[in-house]
């Protein structure tokens, strides 16, 4: 039996029997991992109030040489994120990001960059200095890139014309092809969404800037709508389903089905 400790973010929680919980974490050292928290639902001392979705934690896990899930032995807050938990919109975004991480990562592979991204996004969401929607755009773009699913916004997916050589202001996006399609190739595209060139430049910058500088960007209302509509269509298309938490965000916004 071996013990290890790590900073961790709780990204999924399931009831298991009458007393236990199955918890999925994104850990700094070991990537995504699932453990069992025994008697977590009846103990008022060991895990009281700690094992909540998107909690930032320091955990200790016991691994046995035998088959079976690792056992969570200790967990404590590294940051409680109280402002998120007191705001339904922030809670919805944090839940969405956690769900995306759980859906896109494999177990047991170190994912330091994804951990740092989710850690940054949750802390910034809690601080409230960057608009929630900008953080969601940033998070989705960066996670898609780290997962190998980054939308192509640099050249036409069909003829490979460079973005600088595409003359129109509004550029078609083909979800199936994974990016932008120029006006000449649009008749051969199944895409039904458009992004302005200005929005594309902002998405490109947000995807490559230092995280600490992300708060400097200013989206116009139009660019914000375009970016969210594009990413919230692109992500489900390439996941193969719409995340439950994204459906809730849409309801909060009053989006039409």
Q: What is the CATH number of the domain that holds 53?
A: 2.40.50.140
State residue 239's pLDDT score. 92
Residue 59 CB-density burial (10 A; 0-12 exposed, 13-18 middle, 19+ buried): buried
Residue 23 CB partners (closer than 8 Å, separation 6+): 10, 12, 13, 14, 34, 35, 36, 37, 51, 72
Q: Which of 33, 59, 80 is the last residue of a domain?
A: 80
Please indicate, yes or no, whether residues 97 and 187 belong to a single structural domain of this protein: yes
Give, for 31, the enclosing helix (H) or strand (E).
strand 31-37
Please indicate, yes or no, whether residues 125 and 207 belong to a single structural domain of this protein: yes
Within 10 angstroms of residue 103's Cβ, the number of other Cβ atoms is: 15
- Closest to 193 in 3D by CA, of 205, 181, 203, 206: 181
State residue 165's pLDDT score. 86
Residue 101 CB partners (closer than 8 Å, separation 6+): 9, 11, 26, 32, 114, 118, 143
Please indicate, yes or no, whether residues 128 and 9 belong to a single structural domain of this protein: no
Where in the sequence is the domain holding 57, given as residue range(s)?
Answer: 1-80
Helix 221-239, helix 88-104: angle, nearest 10: 40
Strand order across the beta sheet in which 170-174 lies = 179-181, 170-174, 193-196
Residue with tokens 């922030």: 90
Helix 88-104, helix 132-146: angle, nearest 10: 0
State residue 256's pLDDT score. 66
State residue 257's pLDDT score. 59
CATH of the domain at 169: 1.20.1440.120
State residue 192's pLDDT score. 65
Domain count, the chain: 2
Please indicate, yes or no, whether residues 23 and 114 belong to a single structural domain of this protein: no
State residue 1's pLDDT score. 65
Please indicate, yes or no, whether residues 134 and 257 belong to a single structural domain of this protein: yes
| pTM for the structure as a whole | 0.92
Please indicate, yes or no, whether residues 99 and 49 belong to a single structural domain of this protein: no
- Ranges in the chain, pLDDT < 70: 1, 44, 65, 188-192, 256-257
State residue 155's pLDDT score. 93
Secondary structure letter of residue 152 according to DSSP: B
Distance between CA 234 and CA 129 in Å, rounded?
27
Please indicate, yes or no, whether residues 179 and 70 belong to a single structural domain of this protein: no
Please indicate, yes or no, whether residues 107 and 41 belong to a single structural domain of this protein: no
Distance between CA 208 and CA 202 in Å, rounded?
10
Please indicate, yes or no, whether residues 59 and 99 belong to a single structural domain of this protein: no
């Amino acid at each position: 039996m071996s013990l290890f400790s790590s900073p961790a973010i709780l990204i999924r929680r399931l009831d298991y029997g009458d007393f236990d919980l199955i918890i999925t974490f994104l850990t700094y050292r070991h990537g995504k991992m699932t453990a069992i928290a025994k008697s977590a639902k009846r103990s008022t001392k060991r895990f009281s109030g700690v094992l909540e979705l998107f909690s930032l934690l320091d955990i200790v896990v016991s691994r046995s040489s035998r088959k079976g899930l690792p056992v969570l032995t200790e967990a404590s807050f590294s940051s409680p994120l109280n402002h998120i938990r007191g705001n339904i919109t922030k809670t919805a975004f944090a839940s969405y990001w956690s769900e995306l991480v759980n859906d896109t990562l494999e177990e047991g592979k170190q994912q330091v960059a994804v951990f740092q991204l989710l850690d940054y996004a949750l802390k910034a969401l809690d601080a409230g200095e960057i608009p929630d929607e900008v953080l969601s755009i940033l998070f989705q773009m960066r996670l898609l890139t780290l997962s190998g699913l980054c939308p192509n916004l640099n050249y036409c997916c069909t003829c490979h014309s460079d973005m600088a050589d595409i003359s129109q202001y509004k550029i078609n996006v083909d979800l199936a092809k994974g990016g932008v399609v120029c006006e000449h190739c649009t008749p051969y595209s199944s895409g039904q969404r458009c992004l302005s060139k200005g929005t594309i430049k902002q998405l490109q910058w947000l995807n490559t800037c230092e995280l600490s500088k992300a708060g400097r960007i200013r989206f116009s209302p139009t660019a914000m709508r375009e970016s969210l509509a594009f990413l919230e269509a692109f992500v489900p298309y390439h996941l193969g389903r719409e995340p439950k938490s994204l459906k809730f965000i849409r309801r909060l916004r009053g989006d039409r089905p």
